[in-house]
Amino acid sequence: MAFSFQNIMTNDIAIDLGTANTLVYVKGRGIVINEPSIVAVRKLDQEIVAYGTEAKEMQGRTPGEITTVRPLKDGVIADFELAEAMIRHFIKRVSMSHLRRPRVAVCIPSGITEVEKRAVRDSCEHAGAREVHLIDEPMAAAIGVGLPIEQPVGSMVVDIGGGTTEIAVISLSGIVTSISIRIGGDEMNEAIVQHFKRNYNLLVGENTAEYIKCTLGSAAPYSEKASMSVRGRDLVAGIPKTVEITQGEVQEALAEAVNAVVDATKLCLERTPPELSSDILDRGIVLSGGGSLLKGLDERLRRETSLPIIVAEDPLTCVVRGTGKVLEDIARYHKLLSKVKRY
Ligand code: ADP
Ligand code: MG
């Protein structure tokens, strides 16, 4: 067998730049980074003091001089400088600088603008990439899940992330119909925070709300009677307080966000050409992204659309796995890559 020096020399990386989590896949090594898209910044001089998991642990617990920021909130780049610093940090962590400069494929929320795409590409270049390829999130999710996107059959994906839900029908390597709404897991967390404020005068942190959503949250009535005690700060007395919350209450708090996802899915189906609808009737809808793990969401969509609903295997990693597949065969997938104009 011929010894391939080229394979050792290359250090190609695929990045899922999600609004909630950033994942990095290195060719030949698999997923090497899977951390929240968060940085902690020292207010005084805007110096970044922590990235990813370390920064998330600080969220809501920072002393006055440090603040945590999510550079990609709501599916758009909220802070260019911090987004760039974060991308650079993650690329540098996996790069072996003495080797050839890496080729990078990045998956981006499909709602971001031309200017933002350029910012992502520039950040990767500044971090040492010799080539940068951008790919839309629903396409990467579909490839990660293993859908036959190149064939003349309709494949439908609903990717529920932190800041956005992206719904797309794909056929012949193109997106035929798509809808992107700025509602996802963050909105659900916020709904839980609001629920406590309104009903209990209790202020709970974002991380606590997320924990409640993941353990007790659901999108459909749930047979088992579950509840949990939640700690926060009483808004009137200002002191720590504990309240008991039931599964039904959390479901009610989440209803608006869940309904938005269901309605957008139905709207996308309505806009799908009939031949492709008939494919989807047979093949169903695949759910990806962390939001697809919300209990009962698949059940709810099944009931409302009467279609088969399949939750992707390991939904939090299918986008980066899809981006990785594209990276390993750029020639095959070149049609899918979004072109960023150079100025
Ligand atoms: P993004 O692509 O925007 O980074 P992800 O696909 O990584 O988003 O999903 C992150 C979202 O999924 C977060 O809002 C998180 O709270 C949510 N999530 C993760 N696990 C669960 C769960 N078990 N139930 C409900 N939501 C979940
Ligand atoms: Mg995502």
150: pLDDT confidence band, cut at 50, 70 and 90?
A: very high
Indicate the length of the chain as a whole number: 343
pLDDT digit string, tens, across residues 227-243: 999 999 999 999 999 99
Backbone Cα Rg of the chain: 21
Residue 1 has pLDDT above 50, yes or no: no
CA distances from 276 to 263, 280, 304 (A): 19, 6, 19
CB atoms inside a 10 Å sphere around CB 301:
25
Residue 3 has pLDDT above 80, yes or no: no
The preferred substitution site among 107, 137, 139, 160 for testing ligand 1, maximizing ligand atoms within 8 Å of CB, is: 160
pLDDT recorded at residue 340: 57
pLDDT recorded at residue 222: 73
Q: How far apart are CA 142 and CA 136, in angstroms?
A: 10
pLDDT recorded at residue 2: 44
> Among 240, 242, 216, which residue's Cα sits nearest to residue 229?
242
Q: DSSP string spanning 273-330?
A: -HHHHHHHHHH-EEEESGGGGSBTHHHHHHHHH-S-EEEPSSTTTHHHHHHHHHHHTH
Q: How would you class 306 by CB atoms within 10 Å of its CB: exposed for 0-12, middle for 13-18, buried for 19 or more?
A: exposed
Structure tokens at 112: 């971001």
Distance 275 CA to ligand 1 centre (A): 32
Residue 140 has pLDDT above 90, yes or no: yes
Tell me if 342 sits within 8 A of 314, measured CB to CB: no
22 lines ligand 1 (CB under 6 A): no
* Mean pLDDT over the full length of the chain: 91
- The long-range contacts involving 296-301, CB below 8 angstroms and separated by at least 24 positions, are 296/218, 296/219, 296/220, 296/221, 296/222, 297/160, 297/219, 297/220, 297/258, 297/261, 299/219, 299/220, 300/219, 300/220, 300/258, 300/262, 301/158, 301/262, 301/265
Residue 285 has pLDDT above 70, yes or no: yes
Distance 153 CA to ligand 2 centre (A): 24
**How many helices, marked H, and strands, marked E, lie in the chain?**
12, 16
Q: Which ligand is nearest to the CA of 215?
A: 1
Q: For 205-218, what is the mean pLDDT? A: 95
Q: Which atom, in ligand 1's list, is nearest to the CA of 19?
A: 3
Distance 91 CA to ligand 1 centre (A): 23
Q: How far apart are CA 131 and CA 60, in angstroms?
A: 38
